[in-house]
Each structure stands twice: as structure tokens, then as C-alpha cells.
Structure 1
Amino acid sequence: MKSIIFLIMMLVMPSVAFAVQEPTERVKLGVTDIISIASDSTLSVEQKKQSLSDVIEKHVDIQASAQRVLGKYWRQASDTEKRQFMVLLKGVLVDTYIVLLEQYDNQTVDYTNETIKKKVYASVDTEIHTKENIIPVSYQLYQRNNEWKIYDFVAEGLSMIRTFSNDYKSTLKKSGVSGLNEALAAKLAQT
């Protein structure tokens, strides 16, 4: 009987230990994945975009990001509009990061601080060291289903969420989430 209980514990424990990952570890894994894409010269732009999409799916809580970008409009949107916006936001992130990947030049990242609030919110502070200077970047994470994922990052005082919210504010006021979705889909189709 003891051996059966021990076997069950051995099967369950690795999955539990693996699921609860510390915030800094999540950010390190995400940064490592992005650097590997940036430094792989064999990948085409389309392959890099697909790899970025996979990395975002793995490390970013798109729903948490979308809720914060849309603010009060999230509650007013239909489930279909929400799902469509999350897909489009992921596309915007891929297009944003693909441009940043082209600027990669062997920068290094130091992980300087981790703060956890209310057991479900975390902030991981980093410093990106370039040849010329040091750029502070803070990653904001949310824990859902025992898994930490990034929902925002702040580089040199500029929040991705606030930037997108400000960029989309007039379209949301004028046309709501459906109008924003149409505008984003058209923009993404051009890239």
C-alpha cells in the first residue's frame, strides 16, 4: 500500500512543482526564448513571426493584457469581440517584437528584483545592457491557475498596456471594440 501511495505522489508532485513557477523564472524563460529567435539567422521573417507567436502564447497572459488595454470596454464587449481582440492583440505584439528583434545586438539582461503582491501579482525588474547604456525594463505578471504569465512590461517608464490603451482610446470611443477590431485587422493585413 505504501508503495502505491509513493508512486502516486511521485507522479503528481512533478506536475505540481512544474506548474508553480516563480515570476523571475517565467521572465527568464521568455527572454531566453526571444533571444534565441533573435540570434537564429537561419529563420526567415515568417518563421520568426511564428516562433514569436508561440513564445507569446507560452509566456504572456493575453486575456489579462487585453482586459487592461480595453479597460471599461472589455466589460461591454461580446465574447466574440473579446476573443477577436485577443487574437489581434497577439498579432500586434508579434509585429512589435519582430521590429525589436531586428535591433538585437547581443545585449545582456540582469534580473535585479522580484516583488509579489497579494499572491497573484508580481513585478520582475531587469536591466538590459547595450553597448551604450542600461535600459530598465519591468515585467508585470499575473498568476492564473498556478501559472505566472506576463501581462505588461514597462521600458524606460513606458507601459505597453498604457501605450496601447492611449493609441486605441479614440477608436474605442467612436466605434467600440468591434470598430477597433476592424481597424487592427486592417492594419495587420498590411504588414
Structure 2
Amino acid sequence: MFTRRRVFLGMLVAVSAMTGLFQSPAFAEDSKEQAALSMVKKIGDEAIATLSNESLSDSQKQDQFEKFLDSSFDMQRIGRFVLGQYWRSATEAEQNEFLVVFRDYMVASYAEKIGSYTGENLDIKDATSLNDKESLVHSVIVRPNGPPIKLDWRVRRTNDGEKIVDVIIEGISMAQTHRSEFSSVISQPGVGIEGLINKLKEQIKTASNK
């Protein structure tokens, strides 16, 4: 389950994980695109510094990643999107439980990749406007032992500042991939939203036992 997603999550961790304490504030005086660009550059710089800090244990890096996820990503918006049409048919209790479990599932997925940093750097290119609230920040992961990887960040301006709502690696959207995979699980006979939540809990438990 979720094999393809795990491949590009492994690439993403090299540049974006474990930066929770260093979120860029909102840049009200800047343009939407410049604010998004500034945010991604700051968290990228801090990610490299944190990942290369040998004095931090994997557990400490994971703690920082959890803070990064909570502060830098709009997890509620992402959660609603990945559940797709099933969000509207879910009960309020199912919606709330899914958001909690989805967040924990993301943390567990990344936790498996802690320690995988091998000298990658993030080269920020530019930002383009997608609509009146969102921008796409274009960047490249520069790897010492492999070809560069195109990495785009979808950033939304909110009342709480700039928030990441999607990450696109080599043209593959993390949010769209989750949405497709979750839909295929929910639509199976006898599974539904409750079944998806239970499957995610199983994945979390498996990851935590490794």
C-alpha cells in the first residue's frame, strides 16, 4: 500500500524535514510570490543546517520535523483535499479522526527516512502566481551522487502566514497521489472512510515498531 508515495517522500525528506523551529513569518509587505519564495528559502536553509548537524539524534530531528509539519503545512486543508468527495459524506467525527490520523501517518512515514541525508542542497529558482492566494515556488534538489531532482512547493497565503499545501516532485503531486490512493482504498467493498482510517493506523503502528 502507498508504495509509489513512499518513493518520493524519501526524496522530499532530504530537504524539507526537521525544520519546525525555523518557520519564516508572513511577509505582509512583500508580494505573494516573494513571501512564498522567502518562506521556502528559509526552511530549506534551516533544513540543510539541521540535517547536517551530527549533534542531533534521529529522535531530536523527528521532533523538529513534527513541529515543521504542524507549523509550515496547512494539514487541515490538505486532509480535506486528499479525502476528496468522501470528505463531504463523512460524519464530523470521521472528519476529525481522519485529520488526526492523517497527520500522524505523515509523521510516521517521514520518521522512517530520518538519517537519509547524504549532502543534498536545495537550489531555489523563482516563484510564479497560481491564483490570488497561491504561488508555486520552483526549486531543485542538487545531489552529490545523482542527477538533480525538480521540486516545486505550492504555497498558500493564509491568515496565519504562508502555508505549504502541496509538494510536487518531478511533476508528481503529493496531495494528488494521496487522494488517488486513499480513494482506491475507500471505494473497496466494505472499507469506507472508517476502513481507511484503520488502515492508516496499522501503517503508523508498523512504522513505529521498526
TM range (shorter): 0.7 to 0.9
Q: Which residue of 1 aligns with 2:132?
A: 119
Match of 1:95 among 108, 127, 144: 108
| Cα distance per residue 1:42-63 (max 9 Å; x no partner) | 3333322221110111110101
Q: Which residue of 2 aligns with 1:74?
A: 87
| Cα distance per residue 1:19-69 (max 9 Å; x no partner) | 637111222233234334422333333322221110111110101211221
Cα offset, 1:126, TM superposition: 0.3
Q: Unpaired runs of 5+ in structure 1?
A: 1-16
Q: Which residue of 1 aligns with 2:172?
A: 158
State the identity %: 24
Cα offset, 1:137, TM superposition: 0.3
Please state which structure has a larger fraction of its residues in helix: 1
Match of 2:182 among 168, 175, 182: 168
Q: Aligned letter for 2:129?
A: I
The whole-number CA distance in structure 2 between the counterparts of 1:118 and 1:190 is 40
Contact 2:105–2:203 under 8 Å retained in 1: no
Contact 2:26–2:162 under 8 Å retained in 1: no
Q: Does 1:142 align with 2:156?
A: yes
Q: Aligned letter for 2:82?
A: V
Could you tell which deviates more after superposition, 108-117 or 85-94? 85-94
Distance 1:128 1:173, change over 3 A: same
The whole-number CA distance in structure 2 between the counterparts of 1:25 and 1:96 is 27
The whole-number CA distance in structure 1 between the counterparts of 2:40 and 2:109 is 18
Q: Unpaired runs of 5+ in structure 2?
A: 1-24
Cα offset, 1:136, TM superposition: 0.5
The whole-number CA distance in structure 2 between the counterparts of 1:81 and 1:41 is 41
Match of 1:55 among 57, 64, 68: 68
Distance 1:178 1:100, change over 3 A: same
Q: Which residue of 2 aligns with 1:11?
A: none
Structure 1 or 2, whichever has the larger Rg, is: 1
Distance 1:94 1:152, change over 3 A: same
Distance 1:168 1:18, change over 3 A: closer
The whole-number CA distance in structure 1 between the counterparts of 2:72 and 2:199 is 26
The whole-number CA distance in structure 1 between the counterparts of 2:26 and 2:46 is 18
Q: Does 1:183 align with 2:199?
A: yes
Q: Which residue of 1 aligns with 2:96?
A: 83
The whole-number CA distance in structure 2 between the counterparts of 1:39 and 1:84 is 35
Q: Which residue of 2 aligns with 1:44?
A: 57
| Cα distance per residue 1:143-171 (max 9 Å; x no partner) | 22152110111111221112212222222
The whole-number CA distance in structure 2 between the counterparts of 1:183 and 1:176 is 11
Q: Does 1:128 align with 2:141?
A: yes
Q: CA RMSD in A?
A: 2.1
3-state DSSP of counterpart to 1:102 = coil
Cα offset, 1:184, TM superposition: 0.6
